[in-house]
């Protein structure tokens, strides 16, 4: 849900993912600290993608040298009869993770690395990529550095993710959320407006971001009840994976027959599992 603070030259976005994040994070079983970070990256990709009104894809991806060495989240703009949506994947090396005696910090889990934001418009425009060093303070702090370096826009980002345990289910579903506050480019403003509003936004707690019983409007009132906040229509975000068996087959056709033979199962079928949605694409050898 987009919003702005009238007369202050400040805009914002709030996102809360429930069934969508549960679907995205349910494909791979991750240790809870790793799943939290993956959920935050999902929320970040949604915040950034919707802010751009993108018709293509935005990818937020980390690469690092820690046990959680890869996280990727794709945001897709609506088009071709498909809704706005996100998907995500994270890779955790269990043997390295098991060495921690207690719950590791963000820096211990990810190690040294980078956060890359890649924007791929579908119609017109060029692909853009910005890369910043991962902050040991977390994904939100890394994203704030990205805006500081690439856009020179004062930006505050708060992200949260947590497991939700439902009666009758042993496995939790995951909820993720995020709040972004940013100076509107070209807007007339006073410097103390940003200092005041960003300080207020920074007080938001994880439980407030994630609580589906707390409406976005109520949360914004809690934070900015002395301001005139204008909210806009909220939009649904679906889980969406655009993996395609035909595209996989096209890649396999570029392999030699000997290389493909080594990939086939004993029944002659080639099977490729999508790491984002878990779909197994079966391709007959004779179709290549």
DSSP string, 244-262: -HHHHHHHHHTS-HHHHHT
Q: What is the pLDDT of residue 191?
A: 76
Tokens 């890369």 label which residue?
131
CB-based contacts of 180, cutoff 8 Å, min separation 6: 12, 13, 14, 47, 51, 155, 156, 157, 158
Distances (CA, A) of 204 to 5, 35, 72, 132, 177: 17, 21, 26, 25, 12
Please give the pLDDT value at position 167: 80
C-alpha torsion 127→128→134→138, nearest 10:
-80
Q: Residue 80: in which H helix or E strand, if any? A: none
Dist CA 162 CA 37 (whole Å): 10
Task: State phi, psi for 79 to the nearest 5 degrees.
Answer: 165, 155
Distance CA(274)–CA(277), nearest Å, equals 6
pLDDT at 287 (0 to 100) = 67
pLDDT of residue 113: 97
First to last CA, the chain: 46
- b/e 21-52 (16+ beta carbons within 10 angstroms → b): bbbbbebbebbebbbbbbbbbbbbbbbbbbee
The pLDDT assigned to 286 comes to: 67
pLDDT of residue 52: 87
Q: How far is CA 105 from CA 61, 65, 102, 236, 264, in A?
A: 19, 14, 9, 32, 41
- pTM for the model stands at 0.92
Return averaged pLDDT per consecutive 10 residues of the chain, 288 residues in all.
92 96 91 96 96 90 96 93 94 91 92 96 85 96 93 92 85 93 82 91 97 96 94 95 87 80 79 90 77
The angle subtended at Cα 155 by Cα 232 and Cα 72, nearest 5°, is 85
């Amino acid at each position: 849900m987009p919003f702005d603070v009238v007369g202050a030259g400040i805009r914002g976005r709030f996102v809360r993912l429930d069934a969508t994040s549960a679907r995205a994070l349910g494909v791979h079983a991750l240790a809870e600290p790793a799943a939290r970070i993956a959920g935050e990256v999902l929320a970040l990709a949604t915040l950034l993608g919707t802010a751009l009104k993108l018709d293509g894809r935005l990818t937020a991806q980390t690469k690092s040298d820690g046990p959680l060495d890869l996280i990727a989240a794709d945001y897709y703009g609506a088009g071709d009869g498909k809704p706005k949506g996100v998907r995500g994947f994270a890779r955790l090396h269990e043997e390295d993770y098991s060495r921690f005696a207690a719950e590791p910090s963000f820096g211990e889990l990810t190690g040294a690395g980078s956060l890359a934001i890649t924007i791929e418009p579908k119609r017109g425009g060029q692909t853009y990529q910005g890369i910043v060093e991962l902050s040991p303070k977390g994904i939100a702090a890394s994203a704030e550095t990205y805006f500081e370096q690439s856009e020179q826009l004062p930006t505050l980002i708060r992200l949260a993710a947590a497991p939700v345990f439902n009666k009758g289910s042993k496995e939790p579903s995951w909820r993720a959320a995020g709040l972004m506050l940013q100076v509107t480019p070209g807007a007339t403003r006073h410097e103390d407006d940003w200092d005041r509003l960003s300080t207020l936004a920074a007080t938001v707690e994880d439980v407030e971001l994630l609580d589906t019983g707390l409406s976005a409007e109520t949360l914004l009132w809690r934070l900015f009840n002395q301001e005139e906040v204008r909210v806009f229509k909220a939009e649904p975000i679906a889980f969406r994976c655009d993996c395609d068996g035909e595209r996989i087959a096209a890649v396999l056709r570029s392999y030699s027959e000997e290389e493909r033979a080594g990939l086939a199962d004993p029944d002659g079928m080639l099977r490729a599992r999508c790491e984002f949605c878990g779909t197994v694409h079966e391709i007959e050898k004779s179709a290549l």
